[in-house]
Structures are given as structure tokens and as C-alpha cells.
Chain A
Amino acid sequence: MAATLAPSVPISAAPRNSALAETICPEPSVSVVVCAYTESRWAELRQAMASLAHQRRPPLEVILVVDHCRPLERRARRCFHEAVVVPNQHERGLSGARNTGVERSTGAVVAFLDDDAVASAGWLEHLADAYQDPDVQGAGGLVHARWIDGRPSWFPREFDWVVGCSYRGLPDGPAPIRNPIGANMSFRREVFDAIGGFRSGLGRVGAVPLGCEETELCLRVADHFDGARIMHEPAAVVWHQVPPERATWRYFLSRCVAEGRSKAAVADLAGSAPALESERRYLRKSLPAGVLRALADGIVSPGRLRAAPMILAGVVATVFGYATGPNPSSLAEGLAGSPDKPISEPREAGGHAGVALRTAALGLVVALWAVSLPHVALEHMNDWGLLSVLPITFWLALAVLTVSFCTALGAARTPRWLLAAHVLTFIAILHATPAILYGTLRYAWAWKHVGVVDYVLRHHSSYVGGGFTAYQGWPGFFTLNGVLTGGSGFGSALTYASWAPVVFNLLDLVPLLMILRTFTADRRHTWMAVWIYYLLNWVGQDYFSPQAGAYFLYLTLIALCFRFLLDPRTEGRVVTNRGGRITALPRRHVPTRRVAHAVALVLVLAIVSSHQLTPYMLIASLAALFVTRARRTGLLTVAATVLAVAWAGLFGRAFLSENPWVLSSIGSFFSNASTGLNSLSPRPSQPQMLLAWVDRLLVAAAWSLALVGLWRRRRSWRRDLPLALLAITPVVLLVGNDYGGEMLLRVNLFSLVPIAFFAARALLPPRQGSRPSWAMPVMTLLVAVMLVGFTFAYYGKERANRFTHREVAAAKWLSDRPAGTLVSGLVPNLPWAFHNYERFQYDWMTEETPNQQRRLLAHPARYLASHFSQSGYRDAYLVFTKSQAADIEMTGLLPAHAPQRIERSVLRSPQFDVAFQNRDAVILRYVGPG
């Protein structure tokens, strides 16, 4: 034993550069990580370090990770000069310490030795031998128990795993195993690069240690490396110290129970069939043999007889732990923060060239984008919208960005900030481009919403009459913008409303990341899902609207439910610590819970009072989570339902009585669904017809990909259930209403996050190591195709959505007309109603009955004149704008050339005078027959 050797003996003469080491020795270079947390085991630690100093095959380096113990760290630095002494950079605990060690190590293989274990001289030599087989991703050796007070005679050798040692029943020779023992194990570096390190939080449930981190890691290895093997190498021996307090039957039984519970968790994580196969074999063969052996030994030595009942007691205790242990789902939920990867991310070092290259690519993207903007000739925009005028440099920028992002995902060590920078650039290009190019607010409804804010500012109230009850009944978005507009001194929300798509997409990114990170800790998966989310978010509900605001709050509330409303058994403790993914609220701390409940209620109230549809989407989602017991959302469901119904009853009555279709379409699922499909395109132009099909293809492709992804994650279905429910519940709302023909679009919006999550899983190729060479290019290509689909769907209608400054000038002139004026036009697709909204009555020709439309088209001027003369308004104006004509041409709401014919007819009529005119707009005043 090397106990007497000074710990400052040189540990390694091997080169510190792993690449160099690889060229010198055919076997992989091995870094050894030792984790220590207390000075009380200083003597044992010295022995462990000394044993490493006397390896026949010296390690490349020894990294001693000190787990949040400053005195030990100082002492270790003084004594172990040849070891790299580092503090644990992660959360307290063995997993965090091991991950710190992995991050600091440079060897091609990382071996782990416990601080109370001593390695045999040939330990590393034999471990390294195992890696000559390229399929071997990990290897462990034999762990002999060093009983300080001697081995108790009743302690069955079959149960040596209780004290963290090799037990009878393990293979005698080298053989593949599911997982090695933590005190003596090693893994290839690429394992950590590809799937990350050890997962925290797994090793405990309540106050009972479970310690199946290595099992969980090995299950992930098996999952991600096709044909991967973990080898048991009995020649690689370490001695693990067993203190007297562990040689008691009480410890024995408690560890058996804990092991049973950990097996329940492992079975849940990996599916019980593969996860527990070795346990079944052990139960079938090793334990009966052990009982017989104990009985036979008892003949020679009666004391050993006691091992037989202890085996049975151990089995009973383990089964008891398995059966009564943590609800697998609750544990899995607690762990859901890191199902694929650990808390610690693969380190950022080592990929400097890649990082520099991608940073340069981002610079190039921004430069290309900036160059392209001045060259957009908006006046030449045709039925293909922005697609027809965006220069080649714009498309190049998107192409470079897509390739850079996909390759960044493929690389093992792309830092998070770089992925985030890609996403932010992506959002900026997709959503800031129209705002920068147009210089005016895009989309007609956004103008109307600005008008409602203006109304609140002028009247200091959300309702003093005016007849736009949908907004007045659910005014939250507008009143808040009233505060922002009035408080900032802007005077009108027009100042900033153009930037709403950028702001809302950025806002949504935060809860989106939180939701995704609840279900995967795999950075690749998270960011790919984010990317796909933005690719699929073409429905255009990100403009200055209550829907956009309520959607952000909805996502946040869902994220909070996912992360906080865990099973009661998981609750009450911090499931993972700093850098972790889930923070359960402490159950016992009443003030904290009160604050949390109050926050949730305020969020619900804000959603309920600011949008008509979102509360019902929220209720459906919360109810689904509650009914399936995926999260404890029962109280919140009730609260949301009561508040939503009460609000609609108290403040939304006017709207509901004016719009009986809201209630009448309840229950007509197919009719509601088909309304959405048909209303997309009544008589569209050719390009618009194609664009509508692109929309549908995009939706179909997304759902298909999501199904593939769902299948690929089928083993974690229990963990993914809440997210899958979120994809389905919005569809159920089709039963409820057609939402003015828009329900399908809204369903698409609300199921976007889960769809993006599962679609990302389908798109992501296998991790490094077993990835075919074509996988990354194919993924990039698919993402690029989806991007093209997005640009078609999102930019394809811009000819109608963009308003010129001349149209805005006309609209401003109109908004200053006296109260009680009738404003009529072809279609409400113009900058309208943004000021003095309630002063005017609006009348749109496309909303006439088919019969009225026929009469209008036959004799436009005569029909309109008679219409105005009967209306009884003091003033009546007819507005013709470029964007109205474009809208009609694109959607086919009126026959081809109808706008021009109507305009010409009215211009010739003596009953109408031109009141305002510029190149893009004409406003005519009805003067009557006289």
C-alpha cells in the first residue's frame, strides 16, 4: 500500500498536451479526476493520490476537484504540487465536482477515482487497454472493499454494491456491462463532448442518497452511440475503503431501499426492460446461488449462515424501495431539466477556431443584411410581396446565417452566447426588415389597435361608448400601452408600434427557452427548437396586438407551471441548484408560496382581461396538465376558469350580445376547422394561391416532423407528456369556436412550442461519434427549405400589409374630419382608425351581401350615392388606396379590376368631390345630387 508515500511525489511525466500524447502512445491519454469534499478524509485522499503517483502507466494528469471546501482546497494546493487542484465550479455534490474535473481535463479518456479509494499499480494500464476497441465508450474495473474493522460475517458478498464495491455476480472476465461502479470508472472524452457530463439531482430523493448518476450517464451513452459498449475490466483494480459505520445492518438495509428507489428512477428514465435487465439476471441467478453458498459455508463456519437471511432481507428492502420509492414520474419531472445532458455544459475551450469563424460569419450576415436594405425597391413589389424585391444579398445573409447556425449546432463546443447571437440576428433579420424598410406601421389591424390606445388616452377610460366592444371588453393591452405612450410623452403608440414584431419575438424567446430547457438540457435540441419555432411562427400574430401580449403571458405562465408545479414529492426542495433547470418552490415556506400564488393569479388576471381567446387556450392547457396529473394545475385551472367566465360576464357582455356567432359556433368542430381553411383564400391570385399552399405545407411538415420527433423520444414519453398535451389542447378548442375564421391560425400559434420541440428532435442528427457524414448537410437543407417556406408565408402578403407614406398622409387627413362622419372604402386594409376612432362610422364594400355587391359592381357611383344619401350622416367619405386595391387583387374579395372600375365610376360622378388626392390615395366626399 502506498499510504506512507508523500503526496507530493511527481504524478506524471507524460506530456500535458493530449494531442501530442496521442501521437506518442498508441493507447489513449488518460486524465484522472479525484473528487474530495472534506478534510476529515485527508489520510484517505493522500493514499488515493499516492496510488496514482505509482501507476505503471502514468496518467496524463491528475485533477483533484475540491467540492466547496476552502480549507481542503488550500491544503491540497500546498501538498499535491503535481496535481491540478480546482474548486468545484458547479453545484455542490459529486456530479458537479466530476463535471468540473471533466471540464478541466485534457486526456482522451477521463478516469474517476474516489477520494477514499486506492488504485492498484496496473489500474490505468488495464483501463486504457479496454479502449483499443473503438466501440468501447467507457470502462470500469473491480472495486474491492477495504473493511476498516474487518468484513462482518453476515455481510453477503452479493451485496457489496451496498458499500460501492464490486459484488459477486459480476462477470469474471472482461465483458460488456450496463454501467461501471462510480469508484472505478472511465469514459472517453467524446462521450462528455457529445452528451455532456453527470447529471445533478439524480443522486437524491428526499434525504436518501440514490447515487445512480453513472447508471444514468451510461444509459445516455447507450442511447446516443450506436453500438456503444461499456466494459467491465476486472484486472483494473481499486480498493475502496469501508468505514465501520457502513458495516451495520441498518446501513445495509437503508442502502438497499435507496437502491430500489434509484432503480425505479432509472427504469422510468430508460424504460424498465433495458434498464433493469442486469438486475433481473442478478435476482434470478446470483442471489439464489448466494443463499445456497451461504448455507453451504454455514456448515464450515456457522457465522456465515447469517448471510443467507441478510440476502433475503436485502432483496425485500430493495423491492420495497422500488415499489414505494419516488413516483417515477415525479422524479423524472424533477430531473426533467436535464434528461439528455447534465447541468454543466461542455466547455467552451477547444473550439476557438470554430467560434472565431462563426463570429466572423455573423459579422458577414449583418453586413450583407445592412447592404441589402438600401437596395430594396418597395414600389416594385408585386403579388409575391417582399419576396419580389429583396435583393440577393438579403438571401445570402439568410443562407450564411442558416449554415453557420446548423454547423454551430453540429460542433461539440459552441458556446451558448454564440447560439443566442445567431437566434437574435435571425429575429432581427426576419422581423426588423419590414419595420426598417417601410418606415410606416405595417398591417391594417395594428393601426386600429393604435387607435384603441389613442382612445384610452383621450378618454381616460376603456369604455365610454364607441362600438368596438371586442377591445373595450378586454382592454388590458391597450390600457398598458396607454401608460407607456402617455408616460413616455410619445403622444401616440405609432412611435413604437412598428417594432412590436421584433419586441414580441424577443420577449417570447425568454419563456420559450425556459419551457424547452425544462424538457431537455441538450443545448443542441434547445436551440434547434428555438430556431424552428421562429421558422414556424409565420402566422403573423406578433404585431401590435392583444394576442401578441397575451401570448407572451401565456407562455410565461405555462413555463412557470412546468417548472414549479411539480409533484408534491419533488416539491419542497430545490431539485437542481445554480445552473440547474428546475427550481421547485419550497413547500413549507408559506410566504414564498403566497407570493408565487399571487404572481400566478396576477398573470392569469392579466391574460383573462386582455384577450378573448387566450384565456380559453390557457384553461384548456392547464386542465389537460391537471387531468393527466402531469402538473398540479388544478387550482390554477379553477381560478382561470372562474376569472375568464366572470370577466366575460361582467365586461364582455356587450361584445357577446353584438356578436352572437361567438356563442353559436360552439360545438361545431368540423365547421370551425373548415371555416379557417376556406377563409384563407376565397378567390386568390395565382401567387396567393401558391402561398396559401405553402402555409399549409409548412404546417403539415411541422406536424409530421413533430410526430417523428415524438417517436424518437418515445422512451421519455412520461417526461414529455405535458409538452405533447400542449400541442393537442389548442386543437380541441376548434370545438369551441371558429374565432372569425381564424381559429386554425391561432391553433397553430398555440401549439407552436411543442411542435418546434419535437420537430427539432426529428431534425437533429445523431450526436458526434455515430453520425453519418450526410446528416448535418441534410439537416441544414431541411432548415433552409423551412426558411424559404417561412419567407413565403410571412413576406408573401406584404403588398397589402405595407402602407406608403402617401397613404398615411391621406389617413391622417381623414382622421381629422369632424365627429359623426361616415368613412367608406373597399376593404379595411388601409392605415385607419388610429386616431379619433370612435368619431367615425366605418363601412366596407367587401362586407356587403352578395346581392348588394352585384348592384354595387353594376353601377358603382349610383349605388354608393344612394347608400350615402340613405345613411343620414352629415359627412360621408369614400377612400381608395393602393393597399386596398392590392388586398382585393390578392384575396379576390371582389372581382378583378373592380377597385379601378368603382374608383373611375365615382370620380366621374357629380355626386362625389375629390377631397384629398395623392399618388397612392384618393378621398372623395359625397356631396349629394345637388
Chain B
Amino acid sequence: MTSVDDRPPVLPRAWWLGLPLMAAGWLALAVQWLPTTTPLRPVLVFGFTLLGPGAAVVMLLPLVDRLERLMLSLAASVALGIVVSEALALAHMASSKTSIAILAGITTILVIARLIRSRSRSHRWEAPMERAR
């Protein structure tokens, strides 16, 4: 058994993950105008804020391990949430609507970047490795 190419991991399919991610962000923003007792609000806001932006970041990285992807999705979402909300708070403009809108915007930009990248072949880095016995 000689010369087996060890191809780099294929990036995840951008569309089926990217579009729901973008949608979740804007939906989380949209439900802000629903009554506070709507059960959908906490589900969407917690779900999107704690996972969405990070998941969009992860789409841009060649991570193959599912746990690794989950870890970075959570951590990057939390970190982006902190940075965005903090910037608004320091500017005396803290508001959940604005924060969610910015996070949804970031998510959308990242997903679009991923979609553009998947259209070109440039994202395929070179990692030719031959192995033989």
C-alpha cells in the first residue's frame, strides 16, 4: 500500500448550515417585537446568541472534529456576544435589539464570506502527503 493521498478535510457544505444560521439571527431579532411571554423568544435568543455567530466562524475554519467545532461555536459566540454587547454598553447604547442585530449581521457576513469562498477553489489549501509502508 503506497502513495495514498491524505487529502485535507473538505469544508462543510456551506448552504445547508449557512442559510439557517443567517435566518436564525434575523428571526432572533424579529421576535424582539413579540410579547415578552412568547416561548419562541428565549429559545431563539439563547440558541442564536450562544451558538450562531460562532458556528458561522467555524464554517470558515477547516475543523474536522465535531467536538472541536462545537467548542469553538460556543466560545466564539460567547466571546462575540461579550465584545459586541460591551462595546454598546461602553457607548451607553446597550440594548438587546441592537446587539442581536449586530450579531445577526456578523453571522450573515461570515456566512456570505464562506459561500463566496466555496464558489472559488481557492480555499483548498495544499497538503499533499504521501505515505507508504
Q: Say which residue of A204, A560, A609 sits within 8 Å of B82 (CB atoms).
A: A609
In the complex, which of the residues B50, B64, B85, B92 contacts A578, with contact meaning CB atoms closer than 8 Å? B64
B20 at interface by CB-CB < 8 Å: no
B35 to A489, Cβ gap below 8 A?
yes
A461 within 8 A of B: yes
Q: A487-B45, A489-B37 are in contact. Are A511 and B94 (CB under 8 A)?
A: no
Q: When each residue 575-611 of chain A gets 1 if its CB lies under 8 Å from chain B and 0 otherwise, what string results? A: 0011111010110110110011001001101110110
Closest to B59 in A: A595
Contact with B along A549-582 (1 / 0, CB 8 A): 1001100110110010000000011100111110
**Contact code string A839-877 (vs B, CB < 8 Å = 1, else 0):** 000000000000000000000000000000000000000
Number of interface residues of A (CB under 8 A): 85
Closest-by-CB residue of B relative to A479 is B85
CB distance from A408 to the nearest CB of B (A): 20
A-side contacts of B128, CB under 8 Å: 207
Please give the distance in Å from A788's CB to the nearest CB on chain B.
31
Q: Would you give the shortest CB distance from A833 to chain B, in whole angstroms?
A: 19
Q: Which of A204, A457, A563 contacts B129 (CB 8 A)?
A: A204
Interface status of B23 (Cβ within 8 A of chain A)? no
Q: A490-B42, A510-B71, A586-B62 are in contact. Are A482 and B125 (CB under 8 A)?
A: no
Count of chain B residues near A, Cβ 8 A: 67
Instruction: Determine whether B123 belongs to the interface, using a CB cutoff of 8 Å to chain A.
Output: yes
Residues B130 and A204 in contact, CB atoms below 8 Å apart: yes
Query: Is A484 within 8 A of B49, CB to CB?
Result: yes
In Å, the complex CA distance between A581 and B68 comes to 9
Are B6 and A552 in contact, CB atoms less than 8 angstroms apart? Answer: no
- Of the residues B2, B67, B117, B126, contact of A588 by C-beta under 8 Å: B126
Judge if B70 is at the interface, Cβ distance under 8 Å. yes
Answer whether A115 and B1 are a contact pair too, CB < 8 Å, given A94-B133, A577-B6, A586-B62: yes
Please name the residue on chain B nearest to A95 by beta carbon. B131
Residues of chain A within 8 A of B72, CB atoms compared:
556, 560, 599
Mark interface residues in A197-215 (1 if CB within 8 Å of B CB, else 0).
0000001101101010000
Contact present for B81 and A578 (CB under 8 Å): no
Of B9, B41, B86, B88, the contact of A488 (CB 8 Å cutoff): B41
**A479 CA to B9 CA, complexed, in Å:** 37
- B73 CB to closest chain A CB (Å) equals 9
Q: A475 in the interface, Cβ–Cβ < 8 Å?
A: yes
Q: Which residues of A contact B45 (CB under 8 A)?
A: 483-484, 487-488
Distance between Cα atoms of A693 and B92 in the complex (Å): 47
CB-based contact B79/A489 at 8 Å: no
Can you give 23 A-B contacts (C-beta < 8 A)? A36-B1, A67-B1, A93-B131, A204-B129, A480-B81, A482-B85, A484-B45, A489-B37, A489-B38, A514-B71, A552-B75, A573-B127, A574-B6, A577-B6, A577-B64, A586-B125, A591-B60, A592-B61, A595-B61, A599-B72, A603-B75, A606-B78, A606-B80
Closest 3 CB pairs of A and B: A489-B36, A486-B96, A606-B79
A-to-B contact residues, CB < 8 Å? 35-38, 67-68, 91-94, 97, 114-115, 164, 182-183, 203-204, 206-207, 209, 211, 456-457, 459-464, 475-477, 479-480, 482-491, 507, 510-511, 513-514, 517, 549, 552-553, 556-557, 559-560, 563, 572-574, 577-581, 583, 585-586, 588-589, 591-592, 595-596, 599, 602-603, 605-607, 609-610, 651
